[in-house]
Amino acid sequence: MDCQNIINKFNIIKEKEIGSVLYIVEGAKREFTILRTVFNKILGYKEIYGASRNGRNYYTYQKEEKSNSKIYIINTENSNIGTIIDENNFVERQLKEIKQSQFDFDYENIPIYYLFDCDRKEDYEIIEKLLHSFNNSREPDMENQYNSIGGLLLLSYPSIESFIISNYEKDIYNLKIVDIKQYISNKKYNDNQLNMETLNNAFVEMIRTIMELDIVEFDIDNFKDTNEDIFAKEIKEKKNILLSLLLMSFIDLGIIEIE
């Protein structure tokens, strides 16, 4: 996909049927709150299931009662990205738990997205390895040595709060923020204020920021090269530009339609 063309030729389709989708987010609550706000408040999904077990939260959202569109959101046991490749087969265990509570859950070819922050230096080494293997939401990479399910890793630089800022401001790649949480607090940005208009702005800001990193196109079906390029420029070259890739999942699902 050509980044420049995307900016002027996209639509957000609230009624898009997307089937079953799984988001795995890190242990912090903010990712949960943002996803729930986007799908419930903006896109009109209703919460049909919610539970907390062993420090983890499980939520299911459905578009309409008879709709096949369901969003499953679960969090890892902690904020360590290594959780998704732990020796206890974390992802496989989560799928089994969802299957037990949602009897119509079909995890064959289900799109899986991993939403994690890139704000811990101690995670950089493992992230580099994961970017190579978790590059397609539906099909595991043949060389993925970590699990047989796969999924698409979507990082936020430095954290998911970049997504919040991108909803409200323009040219966020020019911002230099020391404490992003304090910045949001000072600006009084609130998750509950997100709407379709701010979501459109966030998408444009994501694409413009990627272009600012000298990336002019990407392949959502094989996101490895783009993910690795972004990581190299953000971390190795220390660009430190605010960027959340959350809405890449919307392109993949067809919620964001490119004309």
Segment 130-141, tens digit of pLDDT: 888 888 998 765
Ranges of residues in the chain with a pLDDT under 70 are 27-28, 52-56, 66, 77-80, 84-90, 94, 97-108, 140-149
From 217, 221, 230, 84, select the one nearest 149 (Cα to Cα): 84
Q: Token pair of 135, please?
A: 């590059």
Res 47: pLDDT: 86
Beta bridge partners of 70: 20, 62
| Range(s) of the domain holding residue 190 | 3-258
Domain count, the chain: 1
Which tens digit of pLDDT belongs to each residue from 30-85? 888 899 899 999 999 998 777 766 666 778 889 887 688 989 888 876 666 777 66
Determine contact, residues 159/180, Cβ cutoff 8 Å: yes
Quote the pTM value.
Answer: 0.90
